[in-house]
Chains A and B, each alone.
Chain A
Amino acid sequence: MLKKNAETIVSIRDVHKSFGQLEVLKGVSLDVKKGEVICVIGPSGSGKSTLIRCINALNNIQGGEINVCGIDLTDPKLDKLELRKRVGMVFQQYNLFPHKTALENIIMAPTMVLKQDRAASEKRAFELMQKVRLEGKEHAYPGELSGGQQQRVAIARSLAMNPDVMLFDEVTAALDPETVKEVLVTIKDLAQEGMTCILVTHEMGFAREVADHIYFTDNGVIVEHGPPKTFFNKAKDPRTKEFLSQIL
């Protein structure tokens, strides 16, 4: 496969992160190649969100190194804007801007941050709405959309920045079972188009199906990782086994 020799786009080396006295990441390392889809799974409080938020500098780290698209995140003169043009993020609670329509939510960043022409941004926004299967909802406000629809607008909003990597933090956790699927389909489309994706998820079936690599975190460390087949069938660590037995 092409991914084997692809360049590494996110590199995390021995990362440590504490909130006050509480050490949440205790030396985490992982690499993501261009076009790869990786899933991070693990029990609640194990540091999954913290880890993914470090990748776009929403959290700063106390030790180790993170490099994203050649940008060194530990550089004190880090250009956050440059980083955020490269990294898209989708949150559990969608976090759309409630006072803006779906279309406005999507075009705000391209016009204000990338200084793109408004007409071109709008045209692209319509395309993206189509891509996330929401054509016709362009002028709806977030409050007028279902959770699943809002989440797909949020995905379109991130995509409008043409990121190199997309981060998804439990983006289906707040949805009811029927709408989970429509969001997962959208993400799967993206993955198949070659978008590099880092997902925190509890959807094991989905992880098994789309992930190239699965990381299991517990208590701030990566306990075990591997391609889905090996991971789900031949887990070695007792903590992984216990977690999988509870969730599957």
Chain B
Amino acid sequence: MYEPVQQGKILSGIWMTIILSFYCLILSVVIGIVGAFAQGSKNRFIRGFVQGYIQFFRNTPPYVQLLFFYFALGQFTPTFSPDGWLEVPIISNVGWAIISLSFFAGAFNVEIFRAGIEAVADSTKEAAESLGFSRFQTFRYVMFPLAIRVSLPSLNNNLINLVKTTTQAYGIAVPELLYQSVTIWNDYPSAQYPTMLLVFVVYILLVGVLVMSMNSWEKRLRIPGYGQ
């Protein structure tokens, strides 16, 4: 269907989309966990900071966040010169896309995990406390493992959205699937609709793989004799 050059573009675009999605998924979940733990802190400033973070990233458009990270913050990042001539910033546009999208999705993940934690009975937490568990141990071994089971459906939704949102990295010229597709159909207008179709199909497959792995994870997390 495509010539080798275009085929290469599509494949490298798919690969870049997978890379973006993979790192953003991991990082956003880590941010969600750390944020949810910090929200239970005794320190008002830590709680306020997390709340501010959530409000900012949840209530502003991710695309603008991306542009802001890349163009505004990107200016201030140090650079290095691999060959003495070129000035290469230590964080590339791919790096910024990962950071910005992870913080965006991470804000939702904090809320998702927090809702899960609130669903775990206070008395379970008290049992851990009265056995002498520290706050971290209570979170790590009791609250979070129970919360994640409650949170999985909403987490699923958010991560699916995240995978789709990686197309916005197009805006800072990250050569992901949409970016590569657009360069193809700009050169060959006749390829526009078939290429769009291809993009749809690839995303359906990617999200399908994500949903399947989340479902099998959910199965593995199922507790015998609990909630059935």
Contacts and interface: CB of A to CB of B under 8 A. Distances in A.
Contact of A58 (B129, B149, B225): B129
Contacts, number: 76
| A: contact size bracket | 20 to 34
A87 B130 CA distance: 8
A151 interface: no
Interface in A73-122: 80-81, 84-85, 87-89, 91, 93, 95-99, 108-109, 112-114
Given A81-B132, A113-B132, A93 B123 contact: yes
Contact of A108 (B131, B223, B225): B131
Nearest to A86: B132
Interface residues of B, number: 24
Interface in B79-94: none
Among A91, A97, A143, A158, find the residue whose CB has the most chain B CB atoms closer than 10 A.
A97
Interface in B175-208: none
A161 interface: yes
B130 A141 contact: no
Interface string B137-156: 10001100110010000000
B126 A91 contact: yes
Interface of A: 56, 58, 80-81, 84-85, 87-89, 91, 93, 95-99, 108-109, 112-114, 140-145, 154, 157-158, 161
The 3 closest A-B pairs by CB, nearest first: A143-B225, A95-B127, A144-B225
18 contacts: A56-B130, A58-B126, A81-B132, A84-B129, A88-B130, A89-B130, A91-B123, A91-B126, A97-B141, A98-B226, A108-B131, A109-B132, A109-B133, A113-B132, A114-B132, A141-B223, A143-B226, A143-B228
